[in-house]
Structures are given as C-alpha cells and as structure tokens.
Structure 1
C-alpha cells in the first residue's frame, strides 16, 4: 500500500507539471518568440508603439536599437529594440 501511494503521488506531481507546462510555459515561450521575431523584422517607415505608449515611425534600424521619428517636427529619438511593444502598420512595399 505505501508503495502504491508513493507512485500515485509522483503521478500527480507529473500531471500538475504537465498542466502548468501546456497552459502557462509553452504559450509564453510562443509569445516571446513572436515578439522577438517582430522586433527583428522592423523596417524603416513602420509605425510602432513603444512599451511606454509612444507612437512613432521608424527612421533607422540598427543592430540593438531603432531611431524613431516623433511629433510634427520629426524629432529623432533612439530606442532599444526591446522597448518596441507593437507594430501598428507595416510600410507599404512598392514593387
């Protein structure tokens, strides 16, 4: 009997870990991968929103940062790529 209870305890912990993995860990990894891919594919002219809520256009893309144009004077401000939250609209590509 004690051995059977121990096996059931182990099975229960494995089941709990599996539920956490498929409901929490795996979706978060997928979201992180999509966010990283989005930040790597930034192009000049994209309209982006930073994690601080600033909406701007991408003026230049560098390795670890982007230069954003803000406001009517088109003030250029550098931001780290990790600070880009979303890409609002992609620049229309001319073919």
Structure 2
C-alpha cells in the first residue's frame, strides 16, 4: 500500500470514529428532543431549562403558557425552554 493510500485510509477511519462517537449520538438526542417538544399537550407537567416546574395551560406554535405551582400564576415560555416532561396529562 502506498503512503498516499494509507493517509486517505487514516482520514476515512478518523472521520468514521468521529461520526459514530460524536455526530450520530447528538443527532439522536436532537431527534428525541424534537419529538418530546412536538408531543407536548395541555396538562403535561414540565420542567424548564431554568428549573421552573409547572403545568402546561396553553400551547401555541411559538410558545406555551404554564401554570406554576399552586399559586396559579401564568408564565409564558418558548417551547425550546422546556427541558423535560415529568408527568403527562394531569387535567384539573
């Protein structure tokens, strides 16, 4: 095998390792997050990126309104601010 061929093979192997260790897992996480955001519905209990816990009261295309704790205060957040869903469809 020539030196040029070995160098090309080395680059291909390095790219494959980089792809399977970094790019692919990040794409899977992003796909799961997008599916979670698309599945949000009224009554879901959520946690925002800032750590606020609340229940979704209204969902729009760009933002959702959540009711925070028992105080009944309404705060408006972007959908992207939702970190996780901790309970599903807890209707009042």
- So what's the TM-score if we normalise by structure 2? 0.92
- Superposition misfits of 4+ residues, deviation over 3 angstroms: none
> Partner of 2:52 in structure 1?
54
Q: Which entry has the higher C-alpha Rg, 1 or 2?
A: 1
- In structure 1, list runs of 5 or more residues that go unmatched: none
Count of aligned pairs between the two proteins: 91
Verify: 1:87 aligned to 2:85, yes or no.
yes
Verify: 1:40 aligned to 2:43, yes or no.
no
- CA-atom RMSD in angstroms: 1.5
- Alpha-carbon separation, structure 2, partners of 1:18 and 1:9: 14
Instruction: Name which structure has the greater RCO, CA cutoff 8 Å, separation 6+.
Output: 2
- So what's the TM-score if we normalise by structure 1? 0.90
